[in-house]
Amino acid sequence: MQPETLITITTEIHQLSALLNDCVSSGASLGLLAPLESGEAEDYWQAVGGECQQGHRQLLLTREEGKITGAVQISYCTRINGRHRAEVEKLMVHSAYRQRGIGWLLIAEVENQAAARQRTLLVLDTRSNDIASLLYVKAGWQQAEQVSVHWQRIQRVISCYVRSSRFSVTGCIWRS
What distance in Å separates the CA atoms of residue 67 and residue 18, rounded to the nearest whole number?
Answer: 10
What is the predicted pLDDT for the residue at 168?
42
What is the predicted pLDDT for the residue at 153?
57
Instruction: Report strand pairing: 85-93 vs 121-127.
Output: parallel
* Long-range contacts from 168-175, C-beta under 8 angstroms, 24+ separation: 169/121, 169/142, 169/144, 172/123, 172/144, 172/145, 174/144, 174/145, 174/147
Nearest 10 degrees: CA dihedral of 97, 56, 113, 93? -10
At residue 157 the predicted structure's pLDDT band, cuts being 50, 70 and 90, is low
Tell me the average pLDDT across 82-111: 95
pLDDT cut 90: percent of the chain above it: 61
Contact predicate 73/90, CB 8 Å = yes
Residue length, the chain? 176
Over the chain, what is the mean pLDDT?
87
What is the predicted pLDDT for the residue at 33?
86
Q: Is the pLDDT of residue 79 over 90?
A: yes
Total-model pTM = 0.87
Q: Is the pLDDT of residue 154 over 80?
A: no
Q: Which of 17-26, 30-39, 142-151 has the highest mean pLDDT?
A: 17-26
What distance in Å separates the CA atoms of residue 7 and residue 57, rounded to the nearest whole number?
Answer: 9
Which strand ranges, in their side-by-side order, compose the sheet holding 67-76? 4-6, 57-64, 67-76, 85-93, 121-127, 154-164, 142-151
What is the predicted pLDDT for the residue at 35?
92
Cα 167–chain centre separation: 22
Nearest to 20 by CA among 4, 39, 41, 34: 41
What is the predicted pLDDT for the residue at 133?
86
Question: Which is more confident, 156 or 124?
Answer: 124
Question: Which is more confident, 161 or 115?
Answer: 115
